[in-house]
Amino acid sequence: MIYAKSEPVEGLKEHTDRLIRNYENLKKLYSDKLNNEIMWKLLLIAVKYHDVGKVYSPFQNVIRKKIGLQLLSEPISYDIPHNYLSPAFIPYNKLNINKDEMKILIQSIGYHHERDKEIDIDKIKEIIDKDLKKSIKVLKTELDIEIADKIGTKYVSKLIKRIKTDDNFYYLYVLVKGLLHRIDHSSSAHQDVEVDRHKNVGEYTLRYMKSKKFSLRDLQKFALKNKDRNLIIIASTGIGKTESALLWIDNDKAFFTLPLRVSINALFDRVRKDIGYSYVGLLHSSSLDYLDESGYENWEEIYEQSKMLSSKLNFSTIDQVLKFPFKYRGYEKIYATMAYSKVVIDEIQAYKPSIAAVILKGLEMIYKIGGKFMIMTATLPTIYIDYLRNRGIIQEKDLVIREFLSSKIRHKISVKEKAIYEDIDEIIEKGKNSKVIVIVNTVDRAIEIYDYICRRKGKLQKIYLLHSMFIQEHRAKLEDEIKDFAKDKNLKGIWITTQLVEASIDVDFDYLFTELSTLDSLFQRLGRCYRKREYDMNEPNVYIYTKDVKGIGSIYDKDIFELSYKKIKKYNMKKLTEKDKVKMVEELYSRESLQSTEFVKEFEKALTFLDNIDDYDINSKEAQKILRDIQSVTVVPREIYDNIQDLINQFKNEKNRDKKREIRRKIMRKTVSIPIYKAKGKVTKVNIKGLEYIGILERKYEFDEKKICGKGILIEQELANIL
Partner 1 sequence: MRVLKLKLFQETACYKKPFAFKTWETHPLPPYSTVIGMLHSILNAEEYISMSISVQGNYESKFTNFQSIYFYKPKEITKMPLNIHLLYNVNLIIHVRAENEILEEIVFGIKNLNEHLSLGRKEDLVRIDEVKFVEVKEIDIDELDDGRKIECPIYIPIEQLPEDVWGISYRLNWKYKVINGLRQWEKINVKYVESGEIISYDNFLQDEEGDLIYFNTPL
Interacting residue ranges for partner 1, rule: CB under 8 A: 93, 99, 121, 125, 128, 150-158, 160-161
**Taking the complex as a whole, how short is the minimal distance between the CB of residue 130 and partner 1, in angstroms?**
13
Crossing angle for the helix pair 37-49 and 12-30, to the nearest 10 degrees: 160
Pair 162, 114: CB distance under 8 Å: no
- Residue placing its CB nearer to partner 1 in the complex, 56 or 222: 56
Collapsing DSSP to helix, strand or coil, 455 comes out as: helix
Nearer to partner 1, 93 or 596 (CB): 93
Residues 6+ apart with CB under 8 A from 681: none
In the bound state with partner 1, the residue whose beta carbon lies nearer, of 128 and 522, is 128
The residue among 73 and 93 lying less far from partner 1, judged by its C-beta, is: 93
Residue 131 CB, shortest distance to partner 1, in Å, is 15
Q: Please state, in angstroms and as integers, the Cα–Cα distance from residue 425 to each residue in 397, 429, 454, 553, following that order.
A: 56, 6, 11, 29
In angstroms, what CA-CA distances link 405 with 233, 236, 408, 580? 10, 6, 9, 10
Q: Closest CB to partner 1 among 153 and 620?
A: 153
Calpha distance 276→200 (Å, rounded): 12
Contacts of 270 (CB under 8 A, 6+ apart): 242
**Least distance between partner 1 and beta carbon 163 (Å):** 12
CB of 96 to partner 1, least distance (A): 16
Q: How far is the CB of 49 from partner 1 (least distance, A)?
A: 18
DSSP, collapsed to helix, strand or coil, labels residue 91 as coil
What's the min distance (Å) between Cβ of 119 and partner 1?
12
* Nearest-angstrom CA–CA distance, 128 and 139: 14
Closer residue to partner 1 in complex, CB, 125/190: 125
Q: Which is nearer to partner 1, 107 or 498 (CB)?
A: 107
Spatial neighbors of 393 by CB under 8 A, at least 6 apart, are: 230, 363, 364, 367, 399
377 backbone φψ class: left, alpha, beta (φ>0; ψ -120 to 50): beta
How near is the Cβ of 94 to partner 1 at its closest, in Å? 13
What are the CA-CA distances from residue 568 to residues 484, 518, 532 (Å)? Answer: 32, 10, 22
- CA–CA dist 346, 362 (Å, integer): 14
Q: 125 vs 707, which CB is nearer to partner 1? A: 125
Q: What's the residue count for the chain?
A: 723
CB of 225 to partner 1, least distance (A): 50
- How far, in Å, CA of 207 to CA of 213, rounded? 10
SS (H, E, C) 343-399: EEEECHHHCCHHHHHHHHHHHHHHHHHCCEEEEEECCCCHHHHHHHHHCCCCCCCCE
Residue type, 507: V
Residue 121 beta carbon to partner 1: minimum distance, rounded to whole angstroms: 7
CB of 148 to partner 1, least distance (A): 10
Alpha carbon distance 451, 432 (integer Å): 17
Please state, in angstroms and as integers, the Cα–Cα distance from residue 379 to each residue in 258, 286, 348, following that order: 15, 28, 8
Instruction: For the CB of residue 40, give the shortest distance to partner 1 in the complex, in Å.
Output: 25
What's the min distance (Å) between Cβ of 161 and partner 1?
A: 7
Q: Which is nearer to partner 1, 128 or 139 (CB)?
A: 128
Q: CA 172, CA 194: separation in Å to the nearest integer?
A: 20
What residue ranges in 12-171 does DSSP mark as E strands? none
Complete DSSP assignment for 510-573:
SEEEEE---HHHHHHHHTTBSSSSPP--SS-SEEEE-SS-TTBTTTB-HHHHHHHHHHHHTTTT
Q: Would you say 151 or 345 has its CB closer to partner 1?
A: 151
Q: Which is nearer to partner 1, 123 or 682 (CB)?
A: 123
Nearer to partner 1, 129 or 615 (CB): 129
- 589, 383 contact by CB (below 8 A): yes
Q: Which is nearer to partner 1, 32 or 149 (CB)?
A: 149
Our CB check for partner 1 shows the closer of 121 and 573 to be 121
Minimum distance of partner 1 from residue 177's CB (angstroms):
18
User: C-alpha angle 316/321/325, rounded to 5°?
Assistant: 150
Extract long-range pairs of 676-679: CB within 8 Å, 24+ residues apart.
Answer: 676/631, 676/632, 676/633, 677/631, 678/715, 678/718, 678/719, 678/722, 679/633, 679/635
**Minimum distance from residue 98 beta carbon to partner 1 (Å):** 11
Cα(275)–Cα(206) distance, rounded to whole angstroms?
9
Decide the pairing of beta strands 694-697 and 683-685: antiparallel
- Closer CB to partner 1, 11 or 152, in the complex: 152
**Smallest distance, Å, CB 68 to partner 1?**
37
Contact 86, 151 (CB under 8 A): no
Residue 15's alpha-carbon distances to 187, 193, 518, in angstroms, are: 8, 14, 55
- For residue 577, how many other CB atoms are within 10 A of its CB? 17
**Shortest distance in whole angstroms from residue 607 CB to partner 1:** 31
Nearer to partner 1, 75 or 152 (CB): 152
Nearer to partner 1, 125 or 575 (CB): 125
Closest CA to 568 of 628, 637, 517, 621: 517
Q: How far is the CB of 102 from partner 1 (least distance, A)?
A: 9
Residue among 60, 186, 152, 51 at smallest CA distance from 110: 51
